[in-house]
């Protein structure tokens, strides 16, 4: 049986992630209840690896929407723009970070309904981003399994820690 670990997840209205600065001595989960906590976690490498950072960013905009006190759509969009800007400053070269922020940003820009509907839409999209990353990681694991006997590699921050679950060619 393949053991998987949840590097990043959505739990009880928060972004939950492994604090990778504490590894390997201890496994500690960080509960991010606001954008500043999540942004700091990305900046100081508590969460690492392009896929994990991308999923965290997707959940980050869902988190920003959830904690926003905005009662109307323009105010909610303003709060989300500020959250997006803060997350974008965390790792300026992180491709997956910007991919997820842009994906969520397109939904925000085109949305014209009620604020609570946008909140639900952003969480649903973040879950889709997460699920797509899980599927991509599993596919890479299957593809890489055929090469595993042919070579040996030392991989920085490999397997689940750099992605969301098994997520690398070395997964199997």
What tens-digit pLDDT sequence spans the chain (172 residues)?
A: 455 788 999 999 999 999 999 999 999 999 999 999 999 999 999 999 999 999 999 999 999 999 999 999 999 999 999 999 999 999 999 999 999 999 999 999 999 999 999 999 999 999 999 999 888 877 777 776 666 555 545 444 445 655 566 555 555 4
Q: At what angle do helices 50-67 and 35-43 cross, to 10 degrees?
A: 160
What per-residue confidence (pLDDT) applies to 169? 53
**What CATH class is the domain 8-162?**
mainly alpha
CA atoms of 12 and 10, how far apart (whole Å)? 7
Residue 107 burial (10 A CB sphere; 0-12, 13-18, 19+)? middle
Give strand ranges (E) for the chain: 8-11, 14-18, 29-32
Q: In degrees, to the nearest 5, what angle opens at C-alpha 40 toward C-alphas 102 and 9?
A: 65
pTM for the whole thing? 0.85
CA atoms of 136 and 131, how far apart (whole Å)? 9
Parse the chain into domains and list their residue ranges. Answer: 8-162
What per-residue confidence (pLDDT) applies to 136? 80
Closest to 68 in 3D by CA, of 119, 22, 15, 12: 119
């Amino acid at each position: 049986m393949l053991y998987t670990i949840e590097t990043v997840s959505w739990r009880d209205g928060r972004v939950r992630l492994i604090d990778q600065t504490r590894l390997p001595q201890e496994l500690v989960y960080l509960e991010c209840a606001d954008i500043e906590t999540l942004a700091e976690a990305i900046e100081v490498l508590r969460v690492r690896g392009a896929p994990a950072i991308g999923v965290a960013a997707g959940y980050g905009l869902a988190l920003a929407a959830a904690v926003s006190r905005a009662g109307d759509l323009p105010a909610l969009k303003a709060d989300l723009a500020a959250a997006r800007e803060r997350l974008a400053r965390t790792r300026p070269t992180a491709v997956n970070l910007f991919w997820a922020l842009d994906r969520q940003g397109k939904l925000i820009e085109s949305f014209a309904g009620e604020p609570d509907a946008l909140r639900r839409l952003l969480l649903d999209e973040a879950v889709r981003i997460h699920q797509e990353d899980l599927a991509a990681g599993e596919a890479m694991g299957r593809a890489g399994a055929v090469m595993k006997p042919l070579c040996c590699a030392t991989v920085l921050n490999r397997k689940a820690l750099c992605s969301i679950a098994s997520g690398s060619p070395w997964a199997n």
